[in-house]
Structure 1
C-alpha cells in the first residue's frame, strides 16, 4: 500500500507511537471529564424524584428517608461530581495541549532533520516557500487540532455511548427517537469529510505557493526596487492571495452548511423525545424524574453534535497538513550515508577522481570520463569556460550529488563508504556565493567551529585580513551582519568566509571562485591570506581569474566536462592551447581597461 492510499490519521498514529501512553492518558481524562459532565442531569432527575416521591424516592431506598437528609446527600454528590469534572477538565486540557506542543516540536525537528539529509536535487525542484509552509504552517495546523479537536472527537463519542446506553436502560421505548438522528449525522459527517478533503488539500497547496512568492520577493527586494517592479509584484501577490482566498471560500461554502443541517436533525430528535416522553409521563408509563433526565440528556446528546462542523473543519485541515508533512518525512534519501569513519586528524588529503561521469536530472552529462589525482598537500587549480563542469566537481567531492559512473576517493576510501560528516569536516569550502547567517560577525566566523574562543576567532580574522575592517564596525565582532550578511560589502563577506575556513583548519581546502566578485585591492588582500592558509594542506582552486592561480603546483583546464590540458602556468603558456588563449584574453582586457 502506497502512502497515498493510507489515511492521514493512520499515518499520524504510526508516527505517534512514541506518545501512545500520553495519548491514552489524555483520552482517559477526556472520557472521565465527560462522564462527570453528564452526571448533573441525573442529579436533577434525583432531585425531582425526591420532590415528587419524597420518602419513596430512589435515594430513600438507600436507607435515607428524611427529605433534608436526601437533599444533603444530593448536595454532597453534586459537590463531588462538579469537583471531579473540573479536575479532569484541567487534566485533559493540560495533557492534550502539552502533547500538541511536544508533537509539533518533534515533528518539526524530525521533518527538518530529514530535509537536511536529502540531496541538493530535491531542493532544486522545490521552492523554499513551499518547504517553509510544510515546516511551519502545516505542523501548526496539526497542533491546533491536537490542542482541542482531538478532545472534542473523544467527548462526542463518549456522549453518544453513555447517553445512548442510559436511554436504553431508562426508557427503551423512547431510545430510538432520541437516537434516530445519529445515523444521519454520522453519514453526513463522513460525506462532508470526503467532499472537504480535496478542497483543503487545494488550500494547503495555495498557501504554499503564496509563501513561496513572499519568500522569493523578500529575498529579491533589491532587484524589485532597482527595476521599479513594485506594482508588478504587488499584483502577483494579490493574485496569489486571491487564489488562496477562493480555495478557502470553496471549502468554507461546504463546511458552513454542515451545522445548519445537523441542527435540523437534532430538532427532530429533541422534539420527538419531548412530545412522546411527556405523553408517556402523563399516562403514568414514565416517572417524572426519569422524564426530566431524558429531556436533559437528549439536549446533552444532540446539542454538542452541532460542534461537529467546527471540529470536522479543524480535523480536515489537520489531515490535509498531515499528508504533506508525512510525504516529506517519507521522501526517500537517495544518497545513503556511508558508515566508515575517518577522523579529521587522520586525513592526509589525497583525492582521486576515477573515470567519473555525472549528469543532472534530465540533462546531458556535465562531467564525462573525468580522471584526476590530487596529491596530498599540493595546490592544484582547475580552470575553464563557464559550464565546463568545474563547480560540479566540488559538489561531487562534497557528495552533494552521487556520480553516475566511476568513483571518487579520499585517501583511498570511496566517498560512498565514508560517513558524510567526516568527509565534510575534512573539507573547508570558500565559495563565491558567501552565505552569512543573521547574527554577529564572531558567530559567523565561528560557524561550524562552535566552541572556538574569542582569541581563536580574532586570530582567524587577522590571517584572513578581516580584523581591520571588523574593528571599524559599530560593535566590532559583536556587530549584527543582517540576513545573508546584507550589511557588509561583497569583499567583507568573502573575508569572513575565509576566516571561517581558517578557523575550521581543514586538511583539504576548496576555493570555488573565491575572488571572482571582489575588487583588485580586496583580491590582493584575499590572495595574501590564501597563500598562508594553503600551505601544507591539499587545496583545489576553481578560478576564472587566471592571475590568482598562476602559482599553483599544477593547473588543469576543463572543457565540456573533460580535461583538455594540464601543467604549470609556464608550461601551459608554451603549449599555446586553450589556457594560453584565456590568459591572453584576460591580460588584453586588463591592459585595455
Structure 2
C-alpha cells in the first residue's frame, strides 16, 4: 500500500480526491466562489488608496472626477462609501468561505472515515493479517484529520494565491505593462521553486505518514499487551522501542521540514527583486511624468499584495503535501480489492437444518503456503463433528472457510446442500455461532456483549442464554449483574468467565450450527466441565463443530476427524478410532497417561 503511494504524485492524489468528492461538487464550487470574491474585495483597498492619492494630487482632473464627481470632497466621500462596502463585502465572504470550507472539511472527513471503515470491514482476513491495526487506525484517524486540516485553511489559501496573481496581474498590465513585466519576473522562479520543493517533499511526507502508522501500531500493541510487559518486567525495553519509533517519526518530519523551510528564504529574495524593480522603475517613471502618481501608489501597494503572499506558498505546500500523503493512504485503503465477494442475493433456505459438507476443498495461505488439501467431510444435521490434530494442521482453516473469511481455491462447501458462495454473507453467518479460544469482548456491559448478536433480545432471553452457558451463577453474584462493565477486551473478568460469556453470546443467536474453535483449551477444569455440561444440553437438534486439543472433551462426538498436514488421515467415532490404533489412539494414550 505505501510503496504504491510513494510513487503517486500529489496532484494525482488531488485528482483522486476530487473524483471521490464529486458528490460535494456544489459545496466545492460555492466555497471556491466565496474564496475568489473575498480575495477580490481584499485587494480592492490598495487600488482605492492609489485612487485617493490621485484625488489628492489631481483633484478636479483625477480619475474619479471623470466619473461625474467634480469636487475633491465628493470624490473622497464616494471613495469612503466604496471602502465601507468593500470591507463589508470582504467580511461577509470571509465568513461564507470559512463556513463552507470548514463544513465541507467536516463532512468529507466524516464520510472518508466511514467509507474507509466500512470498506475495511468487507476486506478479507488476509488483509488484516498482513497489515497492523495501528496502521489502519492511523489511516482512518490521523490521515483523515490531516486532510481535514488542509481543507480547513490550505485549500482556500491556494485558491486565493492564484486569484491574487491573476487579478493583480490584470491591474498591473492595465496601468503599466513595463512594470507588470518587471513585477512578474520573479513569479516563474517562485512557481518553479514551489514545484521543485513539492517534488522533493512528496516522498518525505509519505514517509512521515508511514512513521505515524508505525508509532500508532507500537502504542496499540504495548497498551494491549501491558500485562505481558509487566510480567516480564520489560517496561524499560518497551519504552526504548517506543522512543525509537517516536524518534523515527521525528527524523522523518525533520527531513521534510528541512526541505519546506528552505523554500521561504529562496522565495523572499526573488520577491525582493520584483518589489525593488517596481519601486525604483515606477518611481523614476512617476518623476518623469510618464506614470500617474496615483497609479504608482497602486503599483507599489499591489506589488506587495502580489508577491508577499507567495511566501505563504511554503506553508500551503507543506500542508498540501501532508494532506496528499494522507489522501493517498486513505484512497489506497478504499481501493484495496475485496476477494470474498458478497454478491449473492439469496439466503439459506429456512429453516436451516444444519447439514455441513466439505467437498474436495483445498486452500493455501499466500504468505506461508500452509493450508488444506482435498478435504471431504460431511456433518449430518444435528450431529457433532470434532476436529483434532497438531497446531497448524489445518483445523481452524476449515472453520475460516466455513465462515467465508476466505474462499477455497478448489472444491466447495455446502449447508443443507446449498453452496455457501451462492448465499449472502449475512445469511451464512447468521446461521453460525462461533466460540473461539481468543474471546473478544467489547468495552461495555455484560448485557451489551451477550446481546451483541441479537441486539433486540429480551431480558429473559439473555438470562436463559447465560444459564445455558452456566454463566448466570457468576453474573448474578456481581454487584451490578448484567450491567457490570467488562472493561477493554473483557479485562475485568477472568478467562473462564469470558469464555462462558462468549458461549452465551453465541447461544443467544440460537444458530443451527455452533462452532467451537478450541473453546476449552485455555480454561480451568471447572469451566471446562461447565462448558461440557452446556454442550450436552445445547447439542440436541443443533450441528456442532468442535476443534479440541483435549480429547476428553470430544469422546461423545458423533464423528472425529484427525487432521495432519492439511489432510484427513482418520475419521470415525471415539471407540472405532481407539480400535483402529492410529494417530488418534496414540494421542489418547499420551493424554490419559497410558503411553
User: What band does the TM-score fall into relative to the shorter chain?
Assistant: over 0.9
**Which ranges of structure 2 fall in alignment gaps of 5 or more residues?**
none
1:277 aligns with 2:282: yes
Q: Which residue of 2 aligns with 1:462?
A: 467
* 1:453 matches 2:443: no
Give the equivalent residue in structure 2 for 1:346.
351
Partners in 1 of 2:185 and 2:368 — Cα distance?
64
| Alignment partner of 1:36 is 2:52 | no
User: Is the aligned partner of 1:100 residue 2:105?
Assistant: yes
What is the TM-score with the length of structure 2 in the denominator? 0.96
* Distance in 1 between residues matched to 2:283 and 2:367, nearest whole Å: 76
Write the deviation string for residues 372-415 of structure 1: whole angstroms up to 9, x where unpaired.
11112222222223222111110110111121211111222222
Measured after TM superposition, the shift of residue 193 of structure 1 is: 0.5
Compute the displacement of 1:457 (Å): 1.9
In the alignment, structure 1 residue 504 sits paired with structure 2 residue 509: yes
Quote the offset at 1:135 in angstroms. 1.4
| Partners of 2:348 and 2:418 within 8 A in 1 | no
Q: Is 1:169 the equivalent of 2:197?
A: no
Residue 530 in 1 paired to residue 519 in 2?
A: no
1:581 CA drift (Å): 2.4
Can you list the C-alpha shifts for 1:279-306, whole angstroms capped at 9, x where unaligned?
A: 1112111112111111111111111111
Contact 2:172 2:179 in 1 (8 A): yes
Return 569-578 or 513-522, whichever deviates more.
569-578
How far does residue 183 in structure 1 lie from its aligned partner after superposition? 0.6
Equivalent runs, 1:85-164 vs 2, <5 Å? 85-164=90-169
Please state whether the residue corresponding to 1:556 is helix, strand or coil. strand
Q: Deviations over 1:7-28 (max 9, x none)?
A: 2112212211111111111100
Q: Which moved more, 1:463-472 or 1:505-514?
A: 463-472
Does 2:13 match 1:8?
A: yes
Counterpart-to-counterpart distance in 1, 2:280 and 2:311: 22
Q: Which residue of 2 aligns with 1:520?
A: 525
Over 3 Å counting, the alpha-carbon distance change for 1:87 and 1:454 in structure 2 is farther
Q: CA deviation at 1:154?
A: 0.2
CA distance in 2, matches of 1:307, 1:430: 58
Instruction: Give the structure 1 partner of residue 298 of structure 2.
Output: 293
SS at match of 1:75: helix
Structure 1 residue 345: deviation in Å? 4.0
**Unpaired segments of 5 or more residues in structure 1?**
none
**Deviation (angstroms), 1:427:** 0.6
C-alpha separation in 2, matches of 1:314 and 1:134: 17
Distance 1:180 1:347 in 2: 78
Asked if 2 retains the 8 angstrom alpha-carbon contact of 1:432 and 1:514, the reply is yes
Q: 1:336 aligns with which of 341, 360, 365?
A: 341
RMSD of aligned Cα (Å)? 1.8
d(CA) in 2 for partners of 1:146 and 1:344? 50
Segment drifting more, 216-225 vs 155-164:
216-225
Cα deviation 1:327-381 (Å, max 9, x = unaligned): 2111111222241421574322121100111221143453221101111222222
Per the alignment, residue 474 of structure 1 pairs with 479
> Which of these residues, 416, 427, 432, is aligned with residue 422 of structure 1?
427
User: In the alignment, what sits opposite 1:557?
Assistant: 562
Alignment check: 8 A CA contact 1:344 1:425 kept:
no
Residue of structure 1 equivalent to 2:586: 581
Structure 1 counterpart SS, 2:257: helix
Aligned runs of 1:126-275 on 2, under 5 Å?
A: 126-275=131-280
Matching residue of 1:380: 385
Deviations 1:417-458 (A, max 9, x none): 221121111110011110011111111111122222333222
Q: What CA distance in whole angstroms lies between the structure 2 residues aligned with 1:565 and 1:267?
A: 86
Separation in structure 1 between the aligned mates of residue 463 and residue 298 of structure 2, nearest angstrom = 79
Q: How does 1:47-66 map to 2 (within 5 A)?
A: 47-66=52-71
Which of the residues 438, 441, 444 maps onto 2:446?
441
Assess if the C-alpha contact under 8 Å between 2:348 and 2:423 holds in 1.
no
2:312 aligned with 1:307: yes
| Whole-angstrom distance in 2 between the partners of 1:176 and 1:344 | 78
For residues 346 and 71 of structure 1, what CA distance do their matches in structure 2 show? 88
Q: Using the alignment, how far apart are the partners of 1:119 and 1:269 within structure 2?
A: 58
Q: Given the superposition, is the C-alpha separation of residues 148 and 34 from structure 1 closer, same or farther in structure 2, using an over 3 Å criterion? A: same
Structure 1 counterpart SS, 2:532: helix
Structure 1's 356 and 365: CA in aligned 2 closer, same or farther, altered over 3 A?
Answer: farther
Contact 1:178 1:298 in 2 (8 A): yes
> 356-365 or 115-124: which moved more?
356-365
CA deviation after TM superposition for structure 1 residue 87, in Å: 0.7
Question: Does the 8 Å contact 1:357/1:365 carry over to 2?
Answer: no
182-191 or 368-377, which deviates more = 368-377
Q: CA deviation at 1:5?
A: 5.0
**Distance in 1 between residues matched to 2:20 and 2:409, nearest whole Å:** 34
**Count of matched residue pairs:** 589
Equivalent pair of 2:139/2:329 in contact (CA under 8 Å): yes
Alignment check: 8 A CA contact 1:427 1:510 kept? yes
Report the Cα distance in structure 1 between the residues aligned to 2:401 and 2:205, rounded to whole angstroms: 40
| Contact kept? 1:367, 1:562, Cα under 8 Å | yes
